[in-house]
Amino acid sequence: MNSPSRDEILSRLKSARKIAPTERPAAPVLSERALNSGQMLERFTAELAAQTGTTYTAKGVQDARRILSEIAAAEGFKKVITAGIDTHGVDIKSWGREGAVNVLTHEELKDRESLREAAFTADAGITFADFAVAETGTIGIVFDKDQPRLASIAPPVHIAIVPVEKLYPVYEDVIEKVFADKNKIPGHFAFITGPSATADIQAIGFKGMHGPVKVMVIFIVNGEK
Amino acid sequence: MKVSLFIPCTVDLMMPEIGVAVYKLLSRLGAEPVYHANQTCCGQPLYNAGYREQAKRAAKHFIEVFGEDDIIVSPSGSCVSMVKHHYPELLCDETSWYNRAFELSGRIFEFSQFVVDILCVTDVGASFSGKVTYHESCHIYRALGISHHPKKLIAAVKGTQLVEMSNATACCGFGGEFSVGFPEISEAMVKDKAENFLNTGADVLVLNEPGCLLNINGYLHRNYPQKRAMHLASFLYENSVEVNHA
Amino acid sequence: MHNRVDKFREIASREMQNELSRAFLLMLSLGAPIMRQIGMSSFPDPDCAEAYGRAIRAEAIERMPELLEEFEKNAEASGAKVIWAKDAGEANAAVLKIAKERNISYVTKGKSMVTEETGLNEHLIENGVDVFESDLGEVITQMLGRLPFHIVGPALNVPPGEISDIFLKKGIIKEPTDIFLKKGIIKEPTENPVELGRAARVFLREKFRRLEMGIVGVNMAVAETGTIINVENEGNIRMNKSSPKTLVAIMSLEKVVPTMTDALHMARILSRNCTGQKLTGYVSMDTGPKKPGEIDGPEELFIIIVDNGRSEIYRDVKVREILRCIRCGACLNTCPVYSKIGGYPYGFSYSGPMGQIINPMLLGIGSTADLYRACTLCGACKNICPAGIDHPSLLLEYRARQKGQGNMPVFERMTATAASVAMASGSLWSIGAKCARPLLNSFAKDGYIKNMPLVAKGWFACRDLRAMPRKTFREMWKELNKSSADKKESI
C-alpha cells in the first residue's frame, strides 16, 4: 500500500549508486540426490534419531494403525487431535474407537476457540505430512483447510504419517512442488525436524520447549487404502 | 638475486637485531640483500588510527623508495599486508599512485614466505636442541594466508622439536593502539597467549611479527622473566652454525 | 532502544572481573566454533557452500531496492498487508495502532532484533499493551531488564539461580495447572535448566492459548513469492503464526532474498553458523494470511518493513555490505575481544564484531568510537562470516571518518602530520629517532622501561618495554654492509 514513507524509502534506495552484482560461483552439489530409496529411508531414520525422533515403517494402513496403537499405549494417550478423518488412508476415528482413545478431528471442531481448546489439551497431534526429506530427517507439512496448524505444535507429542513415495532427498525437491504454482502457494508451510528444543540457559540443550517434546514419523510403505 | 630489505619501524627503532638476522641469513642463502637507507615506516600506525591523509604521505614515500625493486622482503607480515592490501585502496583516488601501488603489491614478500617459496630453502643450517612452539600472527595467518612456511623453517632446524600451542591462531592482543587504548582487554588476551606458551613446556616461543613480539616479550619480561619469545629470523640466525662457532 | 555505548569501558571492566561470565565465555569461544565447524563440514564441499552463500547475500543487497518491490508485490497479492516504516517511531506506532484497533490487551513475541533496536516492547507497554517475549532467552532477558549477552542466546550467561529468582518474582514458578508433565510442575526454586524451561513453557502456554495478536521477526523475505521465512527451535514462532487472529511480522530492509532456492541454501548456512545444526527444528514459511476455510492461522498478516537508517547505509556505498549480515552470531563466537567481555559492553541490541560494524552506522560515528577502536583487526570475524562481510575494513573506514570529520583537536592533527612528515623523509626519521632515544630511555632501568607517565600508560599496566637500543638498524647498516663486504668469502 502506498504511503509517504514507502515512497521516501524506495526513492532513497533507488537513487543510490548501483553496483552490478558479480556473477555467482557454482551452486553446491546436493549430494543426497544420489541416494536410492532404501538409503533415503536409512538416512532419514538416522537423522531423526539424532534429534531424538523415532521413525517407523508401516506396511500398509493396517500396520500403521497397529503402530499408532503401540505408541498410544506406551504414551498413555487419552485424547488426540488430528486433521481429517482420513489420514493418508488411516481411518483415524475408527482407530480411536478401537483403542478407547478420544480422537478429535478438526472437522468436528467448529471454530478457532474449540480448536485451541482441543489442541492445547490433547496428549498428541496426529497429522498427515505431505513430504519428508532424507537430508535431515525432516517432514514438510502444507497447512490448509484440511490441516490445521496447531495440531502439530501444541500437543506434547506429534505423530506424522507420510507415504514413503513422498520421501525426497533434499528440501529443494519439496519446495519445487509446494511453490510450483504462484497462485496456489499455501498460506503456511513448515519443515519440521524433530521435537522443539532450546539451549538458551547456559547452552544446556534439551528437547521440548514450546512445541512437542516427542516426534514420531510413520512411513506407509506399499500403501494400500 | 637482489633483494630489497624493508625493515619495519618497530625493528629499526626497537629490535634492530631482527634486521641484522634477516640480512645475515639472506646473504648466506644466496640472496643479495640491499637496504635503502631512506626508508622509514609503511604508515600502518597512522592508517589504523584513521589518519588517512597522513598515511598517504608515508605510503607515497614508501613507493618512491621501493618503486624500482624487483623483490622486497620484510620480517613483518602486518607491514607487508599494509602495502599489498591497503596501499592501492588508500591511493585509489590518485590514479598514477594507485597503479604504482597495485603493481608494487605483487613484489613484496613476508620473510618466511620468501625463503621457502622463492629461495626454495627450508634448512638454513641451524641447530637447536629443545622444544619450540609457534604463534600464528593475525596478519600472517589470516591476511597473508601464511602458516606452513614458518613452521617448515622451524621444523628443519636440527634437534628442534616443534610442538603446537593451543589456540596458536588466537590474537595476542597487540593490535597497535589497542594495546594502549584498551589495556585491560589487551592484558587478558596476552595473558592467555603467555599461558598457552608456558603450557607447552617449550623453551622458546617463535613468531614472525614484530608487533606481537613487543607485546608478548613485554608481558613475559614483566611476569615470567625466564621465558622469552623470538622472531623467526633471530631464532634461525642465532642458532646457525657460523654464529655458534663464532 | 536507548543505547549505553558510552559505558563500554566501564562495563567491559566489570564483566572481565565477573568469574561466571568469564567461565561461560571461555566455554562459548572454545565450543561454538567447533560446533560450527562440524556443521559446515557436513557439506560435501564446505568452501563451495560458503562461497555460494556469500554470493547470494552480496547479490541480495546489491539488488535490494528491486527485490523489496518484488517482495511487496507478491506479498500483497497473497493477501498480506505491507507497511513501510521509515524509523523506529513509525514502526512502533504502526504496531501499536494495529493492536489498539483490535483491542489487544497483550501480545506474545518471537525473537526479533529489529524490534529491540526500535524499542517496540517499551512503546507497547507504555501504551497499555502487555508484551510477553516467548523465546526462552528473551523471556529471561526481558524479565531481568538487560541487554542481550549474545545475539543468538541473549541470556546464555545468566546462572540458573538468577533465572530461578526472577521466575519466582514474576510468578512463572508458582502452582499452575499442569497440562503437560506427568509429574507436577515445580513449585519451588530450582537451578535445573530443564525445569526452568518447563516452567516457562507452562506460563507461556496460557498466553498462546488465548492469544489474539502475535508478533514475529523475519529471517528471510523471499522476493520471488512474497513469503516470509522464520527459523527456530523452540516452536514459539509457530505458536505465534498459528494461534491468534492477527499476526504482525517485522523485518528490516536487508532481509530480502531473491528466490526460494536461495532461501533454502541460506537456511542451511544460517543454521550451521548459528548453532552448528544442519537445520533448525522449524523452518516456517508464510505467504499471506490464512486462506478461506482454514480454521487456524492469522486472518490478517501485517508485514512491517523497517528502514531506521538502512536506506542511508545503502546509499553509503563503502559501508553497504553491512546489510549482508544474517545475524548468525558466528563472529561473536570467534572474536577474541568479545570472548573477554561478552555482549553487555557494546551497549545496544547488536554486540560483538557485527555490533561493532552496525551500531556506529545506526547510532553515529561520533558517539561510538570505543566500538570501532576496541579491535585488534585480527580478521577472525571476516574469515568466518558466511555473508562475506569485511569487518576490519569497515572499522578502519569508521576510524578514518572519525578523524576526517574535521574536528580533530589541533594538537592531535599536528602530531599526526609531524609523524607523517617524518615518515616521508629518511633523514627526518633518523633525526626523530635520535631525539626520541634519550627521552624514552630516561625511563629505563636495567635496560627495561616499566612505566612512563601520561603517554602509553595502558601498555605498562602489564608489560615492560625494552629500552631503545643504542643504534637503529639504519645506523647499524653502514658497518653491517662494510663488514659483510669484507667477509664476503666466508659467508
CB B164 within 8 A of CB B133: yes
Residue B246 has pLDDT above 60, yes or no: no
Q: Which of A2, A210, A213, A215 to mutate to test the interface with C (most CBs of C within 10 A)?
A: A210
User: Which among B14, B139, B181 has the least Cβ separation from residue C458?
Assistant: B181
pLDDT tens for C207-238 read 999 999 999 999 999 999 999 999 999 999 99
* DSSP labels, C224-249: TTTEEEEEESSSHHHHHHHSSSEEEE
| Placement of cell 514502526 in the chain | C91
Residue B197 has a pLDDT of: 98
User: Over its length of 225 residues, how does chain A's per-residue pLDDT go in tens digits?
Assistant: 679 999 999 999 999 999 988 899 999 999 999 999 999 999 999 999 999 999 999 999 999 999 999 999 999 999 999 976 676 788 888 898 888 899 998 888 889 999 999 999 999 999 989 999 999 999 999 999 889 999 999 999 999 999 999 999 999 999 999 999 999 999 999 999 999 999 999 888 999 999 999 999 999 997 544
Least Cα separation, residue C76 to chain B (angstroms): 44
Residue C175 has a pLDDT of: 45
Residue A209 has a pLDDT of: 93
Residue B38 has pLDDT above 60, yes or no: yes
CB B43 within 8 A of CB B76: no
SS3 C43: coil
Give percent of chain B above pLDDT 70. 98
CB A220 within 8 A of CB A58: yes
Q: Show the domains of chain A with their CATH numbers.
A: 34-224 (3.40.50.10420)
Enumerate the β-bridge partners of residue A131: A140
Q: How far apart are CA A51 and CA A56, in angstroms?
A: 15
Interface ipTM: 0.96
Of A106, A196, A102, nearest to A144 by C-alpha is A106
The answer to whether residues B175 and B73 belong to one domain is no
Domain residue limits at B96: 2-116
What number of C-beta contacts closer than 8 Å exist between B and C? Answer: 195
Q: What φ, ψ does residue C175 adopt, rounded to 5°? A: -130, 75
Residue C489 has a pLDDT of: 44
User: Apex CA B220: angle with CA B214 and CA B224, to 5°?
Assistant: 170
Final residue of a structural domain among B89, B116, B143 = B116
Neighbours of chain A (3+ CB pairs under 8 A): C
The x, y and z cell numbers of residue C445, run together, are: 632501568
Q: Is C18 on the interface with B (CB under 8 A)?
A: no
User: Residue B76 to residues B19, B81, B144, B210, C432: CA-CA distances in angstroms?
Assistant: 11, 9, 11, 6, 22
The answer to whether residues B127 and B240 belong to one domain is yes
Show me where the domains of chain C are located: 55-311, 423-490
- H-run or E-run covering C9: helix C8-16
Of C266, C248, C227, nearest to C71 by C-alpha is C227
Q: Is B2 on the interface with C (CB under 8 A)?
A: no
The answer to whether residues B109 and B130 belong to one domain is no
pLDDT tens for C89-102 read 999 999 999 999 99
pTM: 0.95
Contact A188 C286 (CB under 8 A): yes
| Placement of cell 609531524 in the chain | C418
User: Which among A106, A112, A188 has the least Cβ separation from residue C241?
Assistant: A188
CB A205 within 8 A of CB A198: yes
Q: Is C373 on the interface with B (CB under 8 A)?
A: yes
What is the arrangement of strands in the sheet containing C246-252, beginning at the earlier edge strand?
C81-85, C300-306, C246-252, C213-216, C106-109, C130-133
Final residue of a structural domain among B56, B90, B116 = B116
The x, y and z cell numbers of residue C382, run together, are: 571476516
Long-range contact set of residues B119-123: C-beta below 8 Å, sequence gap at least 24? B119/B26, B119/B29, B119/B30, B119/B31, B121/B29, B122/B152, B122/B153, B122/B155, B122/B156, B123/B156, B123/B157
* Averaged pLDDT for residues C376-386: 97
Task: Collect all residues of chain A within an 8 Å Cβ-Cβ radius of residue C143.
Answer: none
Residue A165: count other Cβ atoms within 10 Å of its Cβ.
13
The x, y and z cell numbers of residue C186, run together, are: 515445580
pLDDT tens for C163-174 read 888 888 888 876
SS3 C21: helix
What is the arrangement of strands in the sheet containing B229-231, beginning at the earlier edge strand?
B158-163, B127-134, B204-207, B229-231
CB C280 within 8 A of CB C233: yes
Residue C487 has a pLDDT of: 56
- Residue B237 is part of a domain; what is its CATH number? 3.40.50
Q: Which of C242, C261, C324 to mutate to test the interface with A (most CBs of A within 10 A)?
A: C242
Of A53, A60, A36, A48, nearest to A220 by C-alpha is A60
What number of C-beta contacts closer than 8 Å exist between A and C? Answer: 266
Final residue of a structural domain among B61, B95, B116 = B116
Contact B179 C403 (CB under 8 A): no
Residue in B closest to C392 by C-alpha:
B48
Q: How far apart are CA A171 and CA A182, in angstroms?
A: 18
Per residue, the 3-state secondary structure of chain B, as one string, reads CEEEECCCHHHHHHCHHHHHHHHHHHHHCCCEEEECCCCCCCCHHHHHHCCHHHHHHHHHHHHHHHCCCCCEEECCHHHHHHHHHHHHHHCCCCHHHHHHHHHHHHHEEEHHHHHHHHCCCCCCCEEEEEEEEECCCHHHHHHCCCCHHHHHHHHCCEEEEEECCCCCCCCCCCCCHHHHHCHHHHHHHHHHHHHHHHHHCCCEEEECCHHHHHHHHHHHHHHCCCCCEEEHHHHHHHCEHHHHHC
Pick the CATH number of C55-311 from 3.90.79.10, 3.40.605.10, 3.40.50.10420, 3.40.50.720: 3.40.50.10420
CA B22 to chain centre: 10
Q: Is B91 on the interface with C (CB under 8 A)?
A: no
* Averaged pLDDT for residues C128-135: 96
pLDDT range class, residue C257, cuts 50, 70, 90: very high
Residue in A closest to C288 by C-alpha:
A187
> Half-sphere exposure of C370 toward its Cβ, with a 13 Å CA cutoff?
20
Residue B60 has a pLDDT of: 97
Q: Which of A198, A207, A213 to mutate to test the interface with C (most CBs of C within 10 A)?
A: A198
pLDDT tens for C424-446 read 999 999 999 999 999 999 999 99
